[in-house]
Amino acid sequence: MSDVMSKEQRSRLMSRVRGRNTRFELDFLRHVSAELYPLGYRYRKHCRHVFGTPDIVFTRYKLVVFLDSDFWHGKNYAKLADKMNLFWREKIERNIERDREVNRKLRREGWTVLRFGERQVEKSPLLMVERIKDALAKR
């Protein structure tokens, strides 16, 4: 199945897809700040010196949090794969593999890695904050 858009249309559309400071990410960060900042936990956003550029990094505790978009990171991929053309299947499969590589490398370096999907964060952000708090307490 070929792409239904021209190369220029696809380029214009894809240029509008953002990987940082998405709405669900900013909403979640408000919860993280409200719950963890008063407890003395400090974090950095999109820390480039940590492999994989995690969305949230607690450097002192060697804890990283990735906030993954459901589509781009292959949530429900098994259901959607048959409907996708080859380009999108390869792209999402590569994203899934890259996530595994990043997780492996960070864990080998002693980091704790947490990954939350978009739907998880939107459905129960405070539960995800609790999971971060628990991981920080164990470090």
- pLDDT given at position 62: 97
125 belongs to a structural domain: yes
40 belongs to a structural domain: yes
CATH of the domain at 90: 3.40.960.10
Interval 91-124: pLDDT, tens: 888 999 999 999 999 999 999 999 999 999 999 9
- pLDDT given at position 3: 66
Please identify which residue in the block is written with the tokens 């792409």. 3
Number of domains comprising the chain: 1
Give the angle 15-21-26 at the CA atoms, nearest 5°.
145
Interval 24-83: pLDDT, tens: 888 999 999 999 999 999 999 999 999 999 999 999 999 999 999 887 787 877 777 777
131 belongs to a structural domain: yes
Higher-confidence position of 21 and 131? 131
Domain enclosing residue 106, as ranges: 19-138
- Coil, helix or strand at residue 118: helix
Interval 5-22: pLDDT, tens: 787 876 776 666 666 677
32 belongs to a structural domain: yes
Residues contacting 117, CB < 8 A, separation 6+: 68, 70, 73, 75
Higher-confidence position of 87 and 117? 117
Choose among 69, 107, 58, 112: nearest CA to 91: 69
- Coil, helix or strand at residue 51: coil
- pLDDT given at position 17: 63
1 belongs to a structural domain: no
Choose among 29, 33, 38, 51: nearest CA to 116: 29
> Which pair of structure tokens corresponds to residue 53?
């550029």
27 belongs to a structural domain: yes
76 belongs to a structural domain: yes
What does pTM read for this prediction? Answer: 0.82
13 belongs to a structural domain: no
Higher-confidence position of 89 and 60? 60
